[in-house]
Structure 1
């Protein structure tokens, strides 16, 4: 998901359409784990644990702590080994044969990236798929997918309201993907228990391409250290993690000669020109308004702001989608040349689909951005809807502002996720604290890197042409064209105003690929928001769709 911006609130929506961090899981164990720790150098060999001095490149070396557990998924009991640890990555140009490029090794940028891996016991590596899972931000840890979606334990939260304060409840996860694949949850550089070191470390890792390169190197290292090169391989990225996945899929093939079996995308954004966050900064680009309208309509339906109220949401949204690509698109393209009668007609139609006042829509010149919609839909009650999941709502900090000052969804879930994971990591995974020595490491859910992030991206085949905002459609397209068996799955929530579902569909339909490869892509929508898995019925559907995708593309004998 996407991490929070810590700079001026007025600039927030110009920067990111992704998710806010939340919080992680609590207490009880599935089965009493046995734990050990060691440097990572091959097969797991438990030895004594080590702590490292934060931000010192001399102490940056791989770590691991091993424990055992078991979980029941769909009636199947699965025993697994859990490994929590770090791997070390370097910026572009680093050579492991001559690692010291300066007279001062401490000047070399370096990152330890934290991960938690779960391996099903008793299965040969070549017979077991492995899936690399990560959230977005950019600069977010992966506690959300780990503790909310696919890990063996899951935090229980309220569905569309604020989860009450501690104590929180951690439960066995019947929807973990461990029934079909081993899992590796990767935290982005500078988050989790990972740390950055060296001179210009932020510049070395906080950017679209440096971040993707770090993940690419991490995955290649992991495959070698744990002897998984011959396993079926999948990526699962959420939000900015989908941007990352498009680049990583291509980098793995181009730089490492590693082909993937499949890429799963949750809450997609591959072309930032399509974001509904402050599109006024890009006048003349009307696609954000067009692609967000179906999600506005879904939100108005959920909050019962439509009259008459449709009974069949998917059928209603299909009607809205048709309007967006026809009459609405034609009207916006005419700009101020649109005849008055047609202008009024479109405004009335938008009122019927969004529940917003006709006069408000007219004052907005038929163009309402995401924050304005969230602020206005329930504004007569001084309530803002959520951005990442518009089923949520909360009291306005400033009822007279143009945009909300916070996301009610993030406030509703954050404490639960983070509190729970901090307990889980120490009590179950035995990582992050040493009871014998009193050593303690802080788990960082966010790198707070958005204000420092270099969003420019060198598209494949055009290394000297960097776009100010990323469009990674060419990256995913290149990966698919060079590996024609690569399959892609798109998962989206109807109530996501951060990365609207119709935006993802539009982007997939505009990948620069041959028409015959379009059949490699499948689409799924859910009655949920950006973090689809926060709605329990949607999580079950997400599990089943992802599991079926992995089984269909793992190339293993039946």
Structure 2
């Protein structure tokens, strides 16, 4: 090699080496980009700003251990923030970004989809005239590893081990602890200490916000005005055995009604009329029958199987073959087997096709595939082009946060205790009738069991919708669910005119 060629090679190597650190794919630990927008919401013309950025999570030594990406929607020209509610929003998973409710439910810009919630191309965004931004500012939070949120290396540049990360972030109680601390910082940084505060969580996010209600009170002395549970999990309230089996039937009936496979006399009923009948049967006959197990009489077993088949759209033989206890997987595979379709899990209005019609569970879940199809390009384009937050870090729609430590999940009891200690705290439950992952009757059951004393039942409310897990994807329910949420926020504020005391 001659000297000229050697100098060229060295120059290239040196140039690459000097810029490598500048081109690492990493997120800024503490950042913020603000953009300004306009919208017409609930008939009102609104100017608002969106702060998109990252804010650190600190350990007890004051060292940053992670950074969380957020989007903070704030109405302009609000004279008194002490009267302006703040809605703090989480999705679930665990391991899901805040994308779903952000660009499909409460935000002022939502996914471009058809009226029933199915994807349409070209993908993109449209205005949401039903957003609750007219009555509350909203911050969408992405827990560690979701969205652009990431674990950080320690002061020596070393990443914590998988076990250390799980201990800090990836478990029911670790998740609640660090997020409460993050919220405390966000609230004080943004001057929202006096604002009425609401938490909303979807799916596993309901476990998260139930625990946060108590943790914020106990560790940070923030008392909330409301908690909203969208498509809730069990929040640590036991519903196994016969209860788990029986509670599926109203959801089965709703799905069978939607697909028009029920007998004519049931099919002609309105959905809510049908569900009232099925719920009564479930509580008064089906649940007691399942509790008898193998010792149910043959006559009663045949009678119950006949009614379960009637309401579920399944054959009596199939119900008996499953000992009166039909699993969700079996239902999704069996209901439309003769038509060659499987059902969606999170929204059973969605249909899919399997490699074989035979089998006892679906190959995949068609609704999640459809949603990822539309949400992924839309959120990436929206954040980068409309909110002007630019990074080469991948936006994680669904992140690896497993194994997730689910031990000592007492979040339902934590929510009850927070309500007992705080007379201002109200709870709204929202659920879709076609959700097979966290079915609506389980949601009702959890609400019923949340406060066995019954002393706080007037502060608990339930709203159901004719769609699935993300009930807001259906246009009619996007309006209805936002209207219900708006009413809940405003009614919770009205209670502030009374002193926070019992009697």
Of 384, 388, 393, 2:346 maps to 388
What is residue 8 of structure 1 aligned with on the other side? none
Of 461, 466, 481, 1:522 maps to 461
Question: Is the aligned partner of 1:535 residue 2:474?
Answer: yes
What is residue 175 of structure 1 aligned with on the other side? 130
Structure ranking higher on relative contact order (CA contacts 8 Å, 6+ apart): 1
What is residue 406 of structure 2 aligned with on the other side? 455
What is residue 10 of structure 2 aligned with on the other side? none
Offset, 1:326: 1.3
Q: What SS does the corresponding residue of 2:332 show, helix, strand or coil?
A: helix
Q: Which string of whole-angstrom CA distances, capped at 9 and with x for unpartnered residues, describes residues 358-407 of structure 1?
A: 11110100001111111111111221111111111111244223111221
Of 83, 99, 105, 1:143 maps to 99
Task: State how far apart, in whole Å, the 1-side matches of 2:370 and 2:342 are.
Answer: 13
Cα separation, partners in 2 of 1:172 and 1:159, compared to 1, 3 Å: closer
Offset, 1:162: 5.0
Q: What SS does the corresponding residue of 2:284 show, helix, strand or coil?
A: helix
What is residue 250 of structure 1 aligned with on the other side? 214
Question: Is the aligned partner of 1:548 residue 2:487?
Answer: yes
Q: Is the 8 A contact 1:132 1:186 kept in 2?
A: yes
Q: Which string of whole-angstrom CA distances, capped at 9 and with x for unpartnered residues, describes residues 399-441 of structure 1?
A: 22311122111112212111011001010111133xxxxxx22
Q: Is the 8 A contact 1:161 1:393 kept in 2?
A: no
What is residue 425 of structure 2 aligned with on the other side? 486
Cα separation, partners in 2 of 1:306 and 1:372, compared to 1, 3 Å: same
Q: Is the 8 A contact 1:496 1:529 kept in 2?
A: yes
Q: Which string of whole-angstrom CA distances, capped at 9 and with x for unpartnered residues, describes residues 90-129 of structure 1?
A: 4xxx32xx336xxxxxxxx811111000110110321211
- Post-superposition, which runs of at least 4 consecutive aligned residues in structure 1 deviate over 3 A? 51-55, 158-162, 271-275
Q: Is the 8 A contact 2:116 2:475 kept in 1?
A: no
Give matches, 1:105-124, under 5 Å: 110-123=65-78, 124=80
Question: Is the aligned partner of 1:79 residue 2:47?
Answer: yes
Q: Which string of whole-angstrom CA distances, capped at 9 and with x for unpartnered residues, describes residues 313-338 of structure 1?
A: 11110111111111111110110101
Unaligned runs of 5+ in 2: 1-21, 153-158, 498-503
Q: Is the 8 A contact 1:74 1:174 kept in 2?
A: yes
Q: Is the 8 A contact 2:433 2:466 kept in 1?
A: yes
Q: What SS does the corresponding residue of 1:554 show, helix, strand or coil?
A: helix
Task: State how far apart, in whole Å, the 2-side matches of 1:160 and 1:359 are.
Answer: 34
| Higher radius of gyration, 1 or 2 | 2
Q: Is the 8 A contact 1:52 1:60 kept in 2?
A: no
**TM value normalised by structure 2:** 0.88
Task: State how far apart, in whole Å, the 2-side matches of 1:538 and 1:392 are.
Answer: 16
Task: State how far apart, in whole Å, the 1-side matches of 2:276 and 2:166 are.
Answer: 44
Task: State how far apart, in whole Å, the 2-side matches of 1:477 and 1:361 are.
Answer: 37
Of 183, 188, 192, 1:219 maps to 183
What is residue 241 of structure 1 aligned with on the other side? 205
Q: Is the 8 A contact 1:484 1:517 kept in 2?
A: no
What is residue 18 of structure 2 aligned with on the other side? none
What is residue 377 of structure 1 aligned with on the other side? 335
Task: State how far apart, in whole Å, the 1-side matches of 2:425 and 2:363 are.
Answer: 41
Task: State how far apart, in whole Å, the 1-side matches of 2:306 and 2:66 are.
Answer: 54
Task: State how far apart, in whole Å, the 2-side matches of 1:52 and 1:552 are.
Answer: 51
Q: What SS does the corresponding residue of 2:67 show, helix, strand or coil?
A: strand
Cα separation, partners in 2 of 1:394 and 1:274, compared to 1, 3 Å: farther
Task: State how far apart, in whole Å, the 2-side matches of 1:356 and 1:116 are.
Answer: 45
What is residue 384 of structure 2 aligned with on the other side? 426
Q: What SS does the corresponding residue of 2:110 show, helix, strand or coil?
A: strand
